[in-house]
């Protein structure tokens, strides 16, 4: 094989392997309600520092519980040792995650946001998302977004790069109506 051919093969392999290594942490963009419904735990928590553990973990004080499978007090959240792990600084966060082997695990594809960065609508919807978990939020593009009456679905527009491109839906909540049809609803400030 020529030197140019070998170099081309090495470049191809490096790009392919690098893509596969980072692929595990590629997260599909999801509506905040989808994060809520897919999570075992959704809490507002104050991170107080790193926990003394054999794996990456953070000490927290739970400020508010929006969703939790069991009622055990959560004092520590764990994260992955891979590139999917997160690093939290002291402060208040909205954390969503899953329970694995009896502990709460939060990773980069979960909803991890500084509490003060959330809009007032997003904070208000946290106590309402559970009602909308019967509904499915489905991506749409172009003409497929014009379909309005799907019984258990709300459509959310995505662009060509699969990122959410629907500001109206992002500021709304998908809830079932009295007719069992799910619709985007915007709850106005009181």
Q: Determine if the pTM surpasses 0.85.
A: no
pLDDT at residue 180 greater than cutoff 60: yes
Looking at per-residue confidence, does 89 or 165 come out higher? 89
DSSP 3-state of 10: helix
- Whole-angstrom Cα distance, residue 93 to residue 72? 19
Section 172-186 average pLDDT: 91
- What are the structural domains, with CATH classification, of the chain? 32-117 (2.40.50.120), 131-185 (no CATH)
User: What pLDDT band is residue 162 in, cutting at 50, 70 and 90?
Assistant: low
Section 172-181 average pLDDT: 90
Tell me what percent of the residues of the chain surpass a pLDDT of 90.
Answer: 55
pLDDT of residue 190: 52
The candidate with the shortest Cα–Cα distance to 112, out of 52, 43, 168, is: 43
Q: What is the DSSP string of 110-146?
A: S-EEEGGGS-HHHHHHTTTGGGGGGSEEEEE-GGGGG
């Amino acid at each position: 094989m020529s030197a140019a051919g070998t170099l081309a093969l090495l470049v191809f392999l490096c790009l392919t392997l690098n893509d596969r290594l980072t692929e595990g942490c590629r997260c599909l963009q999801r509506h905040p309600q989808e994060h809520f419904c897919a999570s075992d735990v959704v809490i507002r928590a104050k991170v107080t520092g790193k926990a003394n553990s054999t794996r990456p973990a953070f000490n927290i004080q739970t400020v508010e519980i929006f969703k939790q499978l069991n009622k055990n007090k959560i004092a520590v959240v764990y994260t992955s040792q891979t590139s999917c792990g997160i690093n939290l600084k002291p402060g208040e966060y909205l954390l969503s995650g899953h329970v694995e082997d009896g502990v709460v695990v939060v990773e980069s594809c979960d909803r991890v946001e500084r509490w003060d960065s959330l809009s007032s609508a997003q904070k208000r919807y946290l106590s309402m998302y559970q009602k909308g978990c019967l509904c499915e939020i489905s991506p749409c593009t172009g003409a497929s977004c014009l379909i309005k009456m799907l019984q258990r679905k709300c459509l959310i527009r995505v662009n060509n790069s699969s990122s959410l491109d629907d500001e109206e839906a992002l500021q709304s909540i998908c809830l079932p109506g009295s007719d069992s049809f799910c619709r985007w609803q915007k709850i106005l400030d009181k």
